[in-house]
Chains A and B, each alone.
Chain A
Amino acid sequence: AQSVTQLDSQVPVFEEAPVELRCNYSSSVSVYLFWYVQYPNQGLQLLLKYLSGSTLVESINGFEAEFNKSQTSFHLRKPSVHISDTAEYFCAVSETIKAAGNKLTFGGGTRVLVKP
């Protein structure tokens, strides 16, 4: 069975500084990878996903994530954060085999607090 570990539960960062959120996964088969963002008192929104092809994927609001198969990682980065990036971020993985169905396994979340 797959599992997802987000190594940091909280990440404080100053405005305009870079941030990296770490995500490692475990699976015996190929996977698809997702990052979701949750703003306070809201549901989760898809930020970006890796399905195949280029290992670097980008979102429309400046985040990027790189799939590293050898290290089984999918870390999320942003070179310069804004106050509005304060949120909780969830990494998730699904296995590509048909038998896995739609099952998405989530990490425990990383809370990002951007300070002025």
Chain B
Amino acid sequence: DGGITQSPKYLFRKEGQNVTLSCEQNLNHDAMYWYRQDPGQGLRLIYYSQIVNDFQKGDIAEGYSVSREKKESFPLTVTSAQKNPTAFYLCASSRTGPSYGYTFGSGTRLTVV
């Protein structure tokens, strides 16, 4: 079955360490997205990519980095510059065009101690 896989589901890191969250899709979608979710704050867009080797900053890109070397993969690195990295991170993908909506992964909960 096609879908989006985020791994790991839970991740613990010490403060000051960089950490990379994985997102892989086998839906043949062109566009991919990363969102951050905090309690009571809805979804906030971190980065998005509409095509391989190209990506754009979202609303809260500071302290994060991404790459899009393959259509299927869009990893997110949370760097030590991110002041409050503990959150639930969601990856999504979509076909080209506004009528399709997004398909989401099951999320990664990152806890920095």
Contact = CB atoms under 8 A, between A and B. Distances in A.
Interface stretch (B14-22, B62-70, B78-86, B96-104): B96-104
Contacts of A46: 101, 103
Given A101-B50, A102-B50, A107-B42, A44 B104 contact: yes
Interface residues of A, number: 27
A1 interface: no
A102 B43 contact: no
A67 interface: no
Contacts of A92: 101
B94 interface: yes
Range for the number of chain B residues in contact with chain A: 20 to 34
A78 to B, nearest CB: 20
Given A102-B97, A102-B100, A104-B98, 7 more contacts: A41-B109, A43-B90, A46-B101, A90-B43, A94-B98, A100-B98, A104-B102
Interface of A: 9, 32, 34, 36, 41-46, 49, 51, 90, 92, 94-97, 100-104, 106-109
